[in-house]
Structure 1
């Protein structure tokens, strides 16, 4: 099931005038971890990651999100007040309709390859690797632009989790190994 299919399923499940955020999180299931990991990983990967403190904050956020996935949670924990917020159904439908051309392109680019790496049992290991990679961002921040290596690994993992593409997850594993090598070879800074 591609991202477009997930969005269409969310759209079909919204039958009330106000759609609680909790309903959206439940509908996304484990794929909800992907976008939550992607946002701070991209922040650390892009030039904003050169700002002192940004990689450390992003690494801590990534750790907190990824550790939930490694413990087998079906969806990420979100504070109750945020879960209780709601979106007007028509606004949600418009947003889904606008997103579909982009998600269709994403679905064509990323597909269900190496499905062994996308099974639920593998997710715990992937999330654990993301948690460790997030923590490596903290000491790697001391080396200019080095925190981008684990950020790249987490970005690839988040995309692989969201699209269920094992080939991208394999790339994430290679990038994580490279980040760990960078940390070990430069210890102590």
Structure 2
């Protein structure tokens, strides 16, 4: 029987696009639109922004790192509602660049969704869930410094996006894949940061 296609990731992009209005929007508006209990969706949205052309917004990688760190920490603590500090929620993003990023992401997201489904779901529950969350917490501590190393910040954000997508679609294979991509982060930092 063919696997039913999920639209969980496209739905998140739809919601993100619906927040766009005027010249800019705040991170607080994005959180309010997606819901303050949607840890995985928020983690996915901001990590995808950091992998898309919207990452050209100055400081976006560092901002995403702070957001993901706070989200992951609260998930580990079992918190039910998202809390983010004011200096993060008041930050503005260009709606033009945001929409450009969403449009850029739609085709790869639609392609990936065809292969997703509930697999290895035990990885999405405690205590197994603590391992990827701990690795992501550690990764976010280095992300602000990755802005000076081409592509490394995007690879780090891709790790987070894969993990968050796995949570949303109940697909533990994506969580495993995020570990594989994580191994590429130090390689990218070395290749572009020290070999150039």
TM normalised by structure 1 equals 0.61
Deviation at 1:144, TM superposition (A): 2.2
Aligned match of 2:82: 77
For structure 2, the residue ranges without an aligned partner over 5 or more in a row are 1-5, 9-31, 85-111
Aligned match of 1:68: 74
Aligned match of 2:98: none
Aligned match of 2:44: 38
Aligned match of 2:141: 135
What secondary structure sits across from 2:152 in the alignment? coil
Alignment partner of 1:155 out of 140, 158, 161: 161
CA gap 1:183/1:144 in 2 versus in 1, 3 angstroms? closer
Contact residue 149 and residue 178 of structure 1 kept, 8 A: yes
1:52-107: CA deviations, max 9, x gaps? Answer: 31111111111111111123x1534347xxxxxxxxxxxxxxxxxxxxxxxxxx98
The count of aligned residue pairs is 139
More helix as a share of residues: 1
Describe how 1:154-173 pairs up with structure 2 within 5 A. 154-173=160-179
For structure 1, the residue ranges without an aligned partner over 5 or more in a row are 5-20, 27-31, 80-105
Deviation at 1:152, TM superposition (A): 0.4
What's the Cα RMSD here?
3.1
Please say if 1:47 is aligned against 2:53: yes
CA gap 1:181/1:144 in 2 versus in 1, 3 angstroms? closer
Contact residue 39 and residue 82 of structure 2 kept, 8 A: no
Describe how 1:109-148 pairs up with structure 2 within 5 A. 109-148=115-154
TM normalised by structure 2 equals 0.59
